[in-house]
Copies of this chain bind each other. A is one copy, B any other.
């Protein structure tokens, strides 16, 4: 497998294979089958920095299997999301995993130094939104971004939001995370000039309906530049924020 990719890239460097052709090959072809999951060997190449495992619904054994295949293919920076403490302990028996309990995130390999391109602000409405925020922040960090955390700056205490006007105005991308009424995204969207990724959370009770209230509120934001990902999807927000932030490189 690795050889195939090597050959392809050598072909490119020798002018035998065009860049376009090589990209298409990487896009439309191979992955390694280990029975319970197809491990995609190309993502790292395309993305350059790290590989991700979605831990929910996977046994520690399955995750270890995937990690082993990834490592064999030369990837040594791996992010595992939705990882329980018990599963983390199992993995730690065979791999040096750093576990971030609040985020439910495990990381193999070290967090890279920020690459100096832009700043991603991760803001939350309340303290209960922090687990989702940490998932987003760690995802952005492992992909090389500088991250500023602004937690518990919900709009019901507007002075808390305004106290961070500087960070909000100088961010390249903002991830606005809130449950309940989800107003944070609109307020930040109105203050900032950069793209705002809104993450509704399932925090709340009663008529929050497990995040539906925040989700609808964010989709209806009157502020331009706001888009929304799934409820509690911190990883998705962090990944997209990285993608947008690195447009600068494009």
Closest residue on chain B to residue A238 by CB atoms: B224
The residues of B that contact A214 with a CB separation of less than 8 Å are 217, 220
| Chain A residues within CB distance 8 Å of chain B | 20, 23-24, 27-31, 36-38, 40, 46-47, 56-58, 62, 118, 125-128, 130, 151-160, 162-163, 165-166, 169, 172, 179-183, 185-187, 189-191, 193-195, 197, 200, 202-233, 236, 239-240, 243-245, 247-248, 250
Please indicate the chain B residues that have their CB under 8 angstroms from the CB of A172 in the complex. 247, 250
CB pair B231–A158 under 8 Å, yes or no, is no
B-chain residues with CB within 8 Å of residue A216 when the two chains form the complex: 181, 207-209, 212-213, 216-217
A211: B residues at CB distance < 8 A? 206-207
Beta-carbon nearest neighbor of A215 in chain B:
B207
Contacts of A160 in B (CB 8 A): 31, 38
Which one of B151, B210, B233, B244 lies within 8 Å of A244 (CB-CB)? B244
Q: Are A230 and B205 also in contact (CB < 8 A) when A155-B190, A194-B243 are?
A: yes
